[in-house]
Amino acid sequence: MPTIKHADFTSWAAPDEEPAFSEMFLSYVLSRNMRIEEDLVDQLFNSSEKRLARVLLLLAHFGKEGKPEPVVAKISQETLAEMIGTTRSRVSFFMNKFRKMGFIEYNGGLHVHSSLLNIVLHD
């Protein structure tokens, strides 16, 4: 198995040779690390209902710059269950609950309303 020697890596990613790339790469690594930390805290301290609400809001880009995209790409309940660490049946239960409360709509596609934030913010 080939290995990368330290000298090879540093010459490839030398900040003084490619400052724009180095800044972009460091920014990506730090934002990825923050997202992993947020996911860990979410898993440890929040219920599966709040975790599902958070994932749906993240998929719809709520809280990001620009206008939120309330329509989420087609995603299965099984995939959502894997993302939040619970079963598909629990995801189904909460999706139906969210739909009945008017937080989401789904008929072939998923439309997330900003009112779903109430689930995440409510203790």
Buried residues in 81-101 as b, exposed as e (16+ CB within 10 A) = bebbebeeebbebbbeebeee
Burial group, residue 70, by CB count within 10 angstroms (0-12, 13-18, 19+): middle
pTM (two decimals): 0.68
| Domains of the chain: residue spans and CATH | 1-45 (no CATH), 47-123 (1.10.10.10)
- pLDDT tens, position by position, 61-119: 876 665 666 666 788 899 999 999 999 999 999 999 999 999 998 877 788 888 888 88
Which amino acid, one-letter code, is at 56?
L
